[in-house]
């Protein structure tokens, strides 16, 4: 997108993030947003544990997917995800605070590709993901 549109998208997204239902529900916070980059934090809760006592994989996906949504929309608004792949590298503990960072690798007229990392408060790598978005 032209630079002016990117600036407008970022302003729109920052405003939208303040009242986003799922972000409130899960406790995810947009802490940085610039063209092609987004950073999200999420304080985990005991409710996020699964039957093994681990943090549910879907919660780790959530923070990664949230960074992915903001990062990809910053340069191609509005876009939706069509595909998402994640590798779980290290387990997260129920007391951790996770930080997800999304970098857009490619943003084309029709589709884009992004890369996302999830780390805990000590910088340990929890997961790496990639995803494809499509303009709508």
Binding site for a second copy (CB under 8 A): 13, 16-17, 20-26, 46-52, 54, 56-59, 61-63, 65-66, 69, 78, 80-91, 105-106, 108, 110-111, 113, 115, 125, 128, 130, 132, 134-135
Tell me the closest approach of the beta carbon of residue 25 to a second copy, in angstroms.
Answer: 4
- Both tokens of 119, joined, read 């780390």
Most distant pair of Cα atoms in the chain: their distance = 48
Which residues does 111 contact at the CB level (< 8 Å), separation at least 6?
Answer: 82, 132, 133, 134, 135
- Beta bridge partners, 99, equal 41, 119
Nearer Cβ to a second copy (17/99): 17
- SS3 category, 74: helix
Output the CA–CA distances (angstroms, integers) from residue 10 to 5, 43, 64, 85, in the order listed: 9, 24, 19, 25
Tell me the closest approach of the beta carbon of residue 100 to a second copy, in angstroms.
Answer: 11
Nearer Cβ to a second copy (34/105): 105
Tell me the closest approach of the beta carbon of residue 2 to a second copy, in angstroms.
Answer: 19
Tell me the closest approach of the beta carbon of residue 86 to a second copy, in angstroms.
Answer: 5
């Amino acid at each position: 997108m032209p630079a002016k549109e990117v600036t407008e998208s970022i302003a729109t997204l920052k405003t939208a993030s303040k009242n986003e239902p799922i972000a409130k529900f899960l406790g995810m916070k947009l802490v940085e947003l610039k063209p092609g980059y987004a950073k999200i934090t999420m304080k985990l809760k005991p409710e996020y544990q699964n039957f093994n006592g681990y943090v549910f994989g879907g919660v780790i996906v959530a923070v990664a997917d949230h960074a992915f949504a903001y990062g990809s929309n910053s340069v191609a608004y509005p876009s939706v995800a069509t595909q998402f792949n994640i590798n779980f590298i290290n387990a997260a503990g129920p007391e951790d605070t996770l930080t997800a960072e999304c970098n857009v690798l490619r943003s084309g007229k029709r589709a884009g590709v992004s890369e996302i990392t999830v780390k805990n408060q000590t910088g340990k790598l929890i997961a790496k993901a990639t995803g494809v978005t499509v303009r709508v």
